[in-house]
Amino acid sequence: MDKKKQIVMSGIRPTGFLHLGNYFGAVRNYVRLQQEYSCYFMVADLHSLTTHPDTNELKEHVYRVLSENIACGLDPEQAVLYCQSHVPETAELYLLLNMLAYVGELEKTVTFKDKVRQHPDNINAGLLTYPVLQTADIILHRAALVPVGKDQEQHLEMARNFVKRFNHRYGELFPEPQAFNFGEELLKVPSLDGTGKMSKSENQYATLYLGDSDEMIKKKIMRAKTDAGPSAPNTPKPDYIVNLFQLMQLVSAPVTLAQFESAYMDASIRYGDMKSQLAIDMIRFIAPIREKALSLQQDKDRLQRVMRQGAEKARESAARTLQLVKDSMGLNYY
Ligand code: TYM
């Protein structure tokens, strides 16, 4: 099948600075996919309202996510880059899909249960139907591939269930969307404190942001959890050390990684040296993205143009899909 015909879609919530997890789990894949596939990438501002109802900083965050995506190599001339709320067809499809989603399955979603724990005072209906809105985003363009990190696996599974239900009830219209990572398993970039994953709005000292200064990157890496080192050769690595090696694998040269792997195996490793090297390599990776994003963010005119042009293209595709949806459902009375 002609790759150009395969449709790719993904989104990122504007709830803070993008971090290393967003980059390696998602954006790096966007950049690789944009030339050969028909790509739609968006800033999920509506999704962010489920947990961040205060909109004072939203606009800046939207500009920032957009700038950071472009700074990472996304080309608005190749991929359609837009903001979710600029495409109201999303909300229409979301409404129709809500009737195909069962409250029981939504309540069992891991991210919903996490959010209930984190925000017991704001368990809103939008939070419950979050995966339905995400499905609407994806199938609005009839996308088949969805580049995301491992944390989105369950949302994609739910999207496939909603799609199967739609196709079964109203006729085959949508491909079943698959979570995607280039030739590998879905990625989970670990946090620096040895527990969980890097995240935009939690554990900020354990997360490396694409906007972090060189000093901040160094500080965060140097205080990452380690121990006295292996006491004998070939000792299995504790989780927090596995994480450090995983981060090194993402940004350091293979020869550097191999050198520290073998130092670990013969129990001669010095974690101070490893962290210093990781900090150098991380700064080399993050600094150019940070600087580029910073300068793009000053150019609001350009960002607005990108969003406007993206919304136009996304709405064309959305209108086509909605017409097909309404025809399939028989919601076409004249
Ligand atoms: P969000 O904003 O939490 O994250 C954006 C992308 O970054 C990935 N990611 C990670 N990957 C690896 N390791 C990590 N530590 C890590 N942290 C985040 C996420 O998997 C995601 O790909 N619900 C989505 C946004 C969304 C969406 C969509 C995604 C809205 N509509 C349609 C795909 C398709 C979310 O909250 O992502």
Q: Give the pLDDT score at 184.
A: 75
Domains (range + CATH), the chain: 3-179+300-329 (3.40.50.620), 204-293 (1.10.240.10)
Q: What is the pLDDT of residues 242-276, one digit of tens each?
A: 999 999 999 999 999 999 999 999 999 999 999 99
pLDDT at 160 over 70: yes
Q: Give the pLDDT score at 222.
A: 97
Going by DSSP bridges, is the β-strand pair 145-147/80-83 parallel, antiparallel, or unpaired? Answer: unpaired
Whether 115 is catalytic is yes
Whether 200 is catalytic is yes
**Rounded-to-integer distance, Cα 100 and Cα 256, Å:** 51
Residue 99 pLDDT level (bands cut at 50, 70, 90): very high
Q: Region 129-139: what's the mean pLDDT?
A: 98
pLDDT at 5 over 80: no
Q: What is the pLDDT of residues 184-234, one digit of tens each?
A: 789 999 999 888 899 887 778 899 999 999 999 999 999 999 999 999 999
Phi-psi domain of 13 (left: phi exceeds 0; alpha: psi -120 through 50; beta: other): beta
Could you identify the atom of ligand 1 that is nearest to the CA of residue 47? 30
Q: Region 95-115: what's the mean pLDDT?
A: 97
Q: Over pLDDT 70: what percentage of the chain? A: 98
pLDDT at 1 over 70: no
Q: Give the pLDDT score at 3.
A: 57
Whether 218 is catalytic is no
The residue assigned the tokens 């013969």 is 266
Report which of residues 241 and 4 the model is more confident about: 241
The residue assigned the tokens 């979570």 is 179
pLDDT at 71 over 90: yes
From the candidates 5, 115, 150, 225, give the one annotated as an active-site residue: 115
pLDDT at 111 over 60: yes
Q: How far is the CA of 258 from the centre of ligand 1 (A)?
A: 30
Q: How far is the CA of 102 from the centre of ligand 1 (A)?
A: 23
- Report the Cα–Cα distance between both ends of the chain, in Å, rounded: 36
What long-range pairs does 195-198 form, CB within 8 A, spacing at least 24?
197/21, 197/149, 197/151, 198/19, 198/20, 198/21
- Would you mind telling me the total number of residues written for the chain in this entry? 334
Q: Region 37-60: what's the mean pLDDT?
A: 97
From the candidates 197, 218, 220, 275, give the one annotated as an active-site residue: 197
pLDDT at 21 over 70: yes
Atom 22 of ligand 1: nearest residue by CA position: 148
Q: Give the pLDDT score at 287.
A: 98
pTM, two decimal places: 0.96
Are 34 and 81 a contacting pair, CB within 8 Å? no
> Two tokens at 206?
């354990």
Q: How far is the CA of 23 from the centre of ligand 1 (A)?
A: 10
For 11, 26, 77, 186, 244, the CA distances from 45, given in Å and listed in that order, are 10, 17, 22, 24, 32
pLDDT at 295 over 80: yes
Could you identify the atom of ligand 1 that is nearest to the CA of residue 44? 30
Residues whose CB is less than 8 angstroms from the CB of residue 65 and which lie 6 or more positions away in sequence, other chains included:
12, 14, 18, 43
Residue 2 pLDDT level (bands cut at 50, 70, 90): low
Residue 4 pLDDT level (bands cut at 50, 70, 90): low
Q: Give the pLDDT score at 200.
A: 80
